Each structure stands twice: as structure tokens, then as C-alpha cells.
A and B are shown apart, each in its own frame.
Chain A
């Protein structure tokens, strides 16, 4: 494991409305790795993803996070995105009146601007869209619709992976990407994630169930409980959790 460290989270504490949710997270993610974060409801899984992405309303009270060497927590959400952090939302937001095309064009060109590149030409942009849609078999007609508006649960999650394909992040956090998906949609979404995987990027899969990990094979499985990572293991840990539930973790940590 000499791959470069992509994300280094140290002793991260964060709270919302004065209530501490994360109580000292330590997590190191290297290029090429897939990490799964599992844990019972309310353990802080989604909070961790929101804090890393810079969602307003969360305050970091202690600790640090570096993202390929940069102080992640000092960057605006948009700059974290430009630097290569992508969050696939548990609940993708519907934005009536903003078309998918305009939304993606803005996203792509804002990133290019950040790196002092000229905006993509209309034809290059459309080519990129076409190419990336294929990754998750996203219907072309969704492109002219408003962002996520009227999309089915499966379409919303596919749309997330489509956006991930377009933005080519170095670190993707998939927050409960399997929730609300039937088995076919799950296969397509997971297939998309696997296609996008390479030795330079990394993925953090946040999930409640082991099911998704049949499709997206993790290198590490972490168990988050009461705001701390209380156990780390290989893929076999996920199977053990599936079999025994979370109670034994709770008992040994309460």
C-alpha cells in the first residue's frame, strides 16, 4: 500500500445545532481504494459525508481533513468539488426550472474556469454528455427536464452517477446510493461506479446494508457507531455484520 494518500481525516469532531455527532473520526483513504462505511442508523454516516462536502449548518469543532494535501475544511463546497470531491446524495434535490443541460454545463464550465480552462464548446459539451450517459444508461429525454424533477428513485440515483462520470472526481462519496433501488437499478448504478473506478481515484461507500457491497467490492469496511469508527476490517466484516447485525458492536461499545 504505497499509493498516495488522497484523504486524511484526523480526530474530526462536528456538531449540528450544538449537538455533537462526530466524536473523533480518523480515516485514511488512498488512491485506488474503496472504503465502505457501515453502521446503524444515527451513527453519523451521513453527517460525515455532509461535513466532508461542506454542507452549511454543520460546524467542525475539532480535528482536520486534508484532501491530496489541501486543507479540505477551509475550502468552499464548490472548491471542494473542483478539487475532486463528489458526493452522491442520499436524497438528490429536485430543482424545478433548472434544466439538466444548463445545470451540467454550469458545473463543467465552473470547474474548467477554476483550472483556467476555456469553457467547452457546445458540440464538445454535448458529446461529453452523450458519452457519459451511456455509463449508467440514462435516458436522453431526462436531459431536457429540470434537475431530478419527476425522476423516479432509480433515475435520480443513476443521475447522480452520471454527474459523477461527467465530473471525474478523485474521491466519490456515495451516501446510501442503494436506498430506494430495485435490483436491476442497483446493478446499473453499481456497474457505473465500477466502470469509473481506476488506480488514481477512490470511493467511499456509505451503506446500511451489505447488499451494495456484493456489487461494489470494498477494500476496507469501517463500522461507525456513535460518531466514531469503532472497527475496521476487510470485506469479510461486512458479511459478518450482515449475519450478526449491529447489536454485538453496540454492546461492546456502549
Chain B
């Protein structure tokens, strides 16, 4: 039996409860998603676009869903003081798939800005939410359709025309449940013309003993000259699966930076669909993954240059140790009429053990002349000459390896735009490479 059945059955049996505990805007798309899923199955390993990752297997366990929106107690204050030192942010939490509001947050947001529960805010502002919700997230993508079918809440960020948020927003996603759970999360980010925001999202698992599944769909709308920096860091557990689809549409002159960092996970699949639709738009898609044990990280990108004079950069780096596996499939499509496109992509990987495996596949489709487009991919070991040079100077092999791996990630960290976050990431990468995990508990300890 294919694993999608259990979710279809949950929907059939609980359609009313799902609706009753969500908002009309979200409910409106459920029937369409249901229709789209008719006869569909989740992609398996080896299917096109999923050469190394089986969504079928990721969704197969018998996860529970919190359809009735029961309160699952979690002691945030005690466990997840995951603020980033020297980085001042406006913070909010998502416990499983439920947005937790703090009073202070609302007071400190500029007027007109919405940052809150998607279910709640889309009920209050149905016209605004309805105008954007589901417009980018294609129901042809099976995991996206499944998310749309079952989603009840998530986060919305709306920044009106011309408003520039000074402080970065921070969203802490926490998995916490007494039983194996699937959180169906949805994020809707709308920046109107000339608006500006920075957002830091981090994924945490409170209890490493239980299996969790995160189904996440992010939709990003950037108006003319809008600017968004989005950092998405995962530090979960070996029993956590993450299936994330991000869709972004960029109007004229807008700029987008997305950084996806995987420091600890079970099985992770991130899809990035970026559509450059207005002239002069630019996007920078960066990612780094450090995986060990049996962790698996798969990043897939699809950057579409739909009009002229846009720029895109992709830079993904992996360090794989033990029996960890990684995959990167990076796409650039330059459509007819997208003259003077500049698009580059790079994927560099280090295999730190004999058993680690990396699969990388760049894909460039160019249907237009007068474009600058290139890609590069390398997979190798640490530089043995550098390692010996460092050891000759008295640096232990272990430390030398760590320093070289850190150095390898340096240029990705250098793209970080939030002050202090770069130092924090450097520190986290260093700790991770030293074999220490869970930066949440570290944060709690550091308090």
C-alpha cells in the first residue's frame, strides 16, 4: 500500500474537523488538493527529480496529526532559549504546527505589519490571504498538494508597501509530542513594493526519542524592489524527517536571499522553486549541510529566469561523514525573452569518510541568447597536503580536519547579512564539526 493512502483516509474521515479547526482561506483549497491527489503517489527513490530520496518512505510511518488542535504542553522558556547572542530579533514560536504569539512581539511590529498565525490572520484578513495563499504552491507537486490538503495553521508575514523592518524576525519551530507526530506547516510571506524584511527560522526537535515528520510549504511574494533575507536552519534529530517546498515569485528589482542550513537531521528534502518574473530581480540561494551517522540531506533547486536582466546565484556546500548521504539537483531555466540573464550555480562537497556518498546533478536549460550561465560541481576529500602542513606545525589531525572543514564553509557563511548571525553560524559549525550537537540545549545552558 502506498503511504499516501493513510493521509487521504485521514482527510476523508476528518474533513469537517480539519475545516472547523482552521480558516476558510485554508479550507477553500482542500477540495482542489484532494482532486489533484487522485490516483497520485508520493515519489519514490529513483523517480525523476527524486533520485536519492524517497518521500514514500519518509511519509510511510504512522504519524499522528493534531487535527483537533489539542494543546501539547511544551516548556519553551526552559528548554528553548534559542536566541542568538548579539543578534537582536523579534521572536515567535511554532510548536509543532501551532503559532505561539507573544504580546511583546505585536507591540514592537511597525504598523500594518502582520506576523502571526496563518489560520488566525487569514480569518481576520481573508481578502489579503486569499489573494496570495496557494498561488505559487503548485498542486501538481504531490507533497505540496498533501500539505494543502491537511494544513491547518502556520505563519504569515505581511509587510506593506515601503515598510522596512529594522529588526530581523525569528521563528523557532519546535517539535514536541508524546507520540510520533506529523506537523503540517505553512508559511506565507508577502512583501509589497519596496518592503524589506529579514527572517531567521530554526527547526528543533525537543525529544530525540520519537519520530517526527515536518511537511512544510513556504510561499514568498516579493513586490517591486522588495528585499527579503530568509535563513532556514535545521537542527533536528535522526528520527526527524523534513519535507520542505519553497516557492518564491520576484517582481521587478526585488532581491531574495535564501540560506538553507542543515546541521542535524534524519532525512531532509528541501525544494526551492524561484521564479524571477520582473526585470532586474536578483536571488541568491545558498545552502550548507553537515551530515554524519545515517543522515540524509537532499536539496533541489529550480531557478526560473522568466524575464530579462535578472541575476541568480546558487551556492551549496556539503560535508558528509560516516555513512551520511547527500544529494543536490540544481536547475536553472532561462526562458525565451530572458536576455542578459546572469545565472551561476556551484555545488562543492567534501566526503570525510570512505562510506559517505554524494550525488550531484546540475541541470541548465537555456532557451535564449545573450545569457551568462554556468555551473560547477566538485566532490572530494580534504586536502591531504594542507592536513600534513598543519600537523607539521603541531596542530592535531582532528583539529586540522575541523579547521579545514570550517574553512570550506567560510564562503557560505560570508554571505550572511544579519549582524552577529555569521559569528553564531561559525560557532555552530565549529561545534557541529567537533561532534557536539543540539545548539538548543547549548543556548539553554549558556543562559
B-contacting residues of A (Cβ < 8 Å)? 53-56, 76-78, 80-82, 86-87, 89, 92-98, 102-103, 106-107, 110-111, 114, 146, 163, 167
Contacts and interface: CB of A to CB of B under 8 A. Distances in A.
A80 B395 CA distance: 11
Given A53-B392, A78-B394, A167-B394, A93 B386 contact: yes
Contacts of B384: 56
Contacts of B391: 54, 76-78, 81
B391 to A, nearest CB: 4
Nearest to B387: A56
A78 B397 contact: yes
A111 B388 CA distance: 16
B383 interface: yes
A95 B389 contact: yes
Contacts of A114: 394
A103 B394 CA distance: 10
B438 interface: no
Contacts of B403: 98, 102-103, 106
B108 interface: no
B397 A76 contact: yes
Contacts of B406: 97-98
A10 to B, nearest CB: 23
A98 B407 contact: yes
The size bracket of the interface on B is 20 to 34
Contact of B388 (A55, A98, A103, A110): A55
Contacts of B404: 95, 97-98
B389 A110 contact: no
B436 interface: no
Interface in B365-395: 383-386, 388-395
A146 B410 CA distance: 11
A111 to B, nearest CB: 5
A81 B392 contact: yes
Contacts, number: 75
Contacts of A96: 407
Contact of B393 (A54, A55, A94, A163): A163
18 contacts: A54-B392, A77-B388, A77-B392, A78-B392, A81-B394, A86-B392, A93-B383, A93-B386, A94-B386, A95-B389, A98-B404, A102-B403, A103-B395, A103-B403, A106-B390, A107-B395, A111-B394, A163-B393
Interface of B: 383-386, 388-397, 399, 403-404, 406-408, 410-411
Most buried by A among B386, B392, B397, B403: B392
A81 to B, nearest CB: 4
A34 B260 CA distance: 56
Contact of B385 (A82, A93, A106, A107): A93
A92 B392 CA distance: 11
A107 B385 CA distance: 16
A225 to B, nearest CB: 26
B392 A103 contact: no
Nearest to A91: B385
A81 B393 contact: yes
A130 B393 CA distance: 19
A110 B385 contact: no
A156 to B, nearest CB: 11
A167 B331 CA distance: 49
B394 A97 contact: no
B408 A106 contact: no
A110 B383 contact: no
A175 to B, nearest CB: 11
B388 A56 contact: yes
B187 to A, nearest CB: 33
A57 B389 CA distance: 14
B397 A93 contact: no
Nearest to A99: B407
A95 B407 contact: yes
Contacts of B385: 93
Most buried by B among A80, A107, A111: A107
A89 B399 CA distance: 21
A163 B393 CA distance: 8
A93 B389 contact: yes
A60 B404 CA distance: 28
A97 B396 contact: no
Given A95-B407, A110-B394, A163-B393, 11 more contacts: A53-B392, A81-B391, A82-B394, A89-B392, A95-B383, A97-B408, A98-B407, A102-B403, A114-B394, A167-B393, A167-B394
Given A55-B388, A98-B404, A107 B410 contact: no
B393 A107 contact: yes
A114 B396 CA distance: 10
Nearest to A88: B392
A76 B396 CA distance: 9
Nearest to A57: B384
A30 B396 CA distance: 28
Contacts of A54: 391-392
A53 to B, nearest CB: 5
Most buried by B among A55, A93, A94, A163: A93
Contact of A97 (B389, B392, B397, B411): B411
A106 B395 contact: yes
Contacts of B394: 78, 81-82, 107, 110-111, 114, 167
A78 B396 contact: yes
A25 B95 CA distance: 69
Contacts of A77: 388, 391-392
A110 B392 contact: no
Contacts of B395: 78, 103, 106-107, 110
A86 B389 CA distance: 11
Nearest to A82: B394
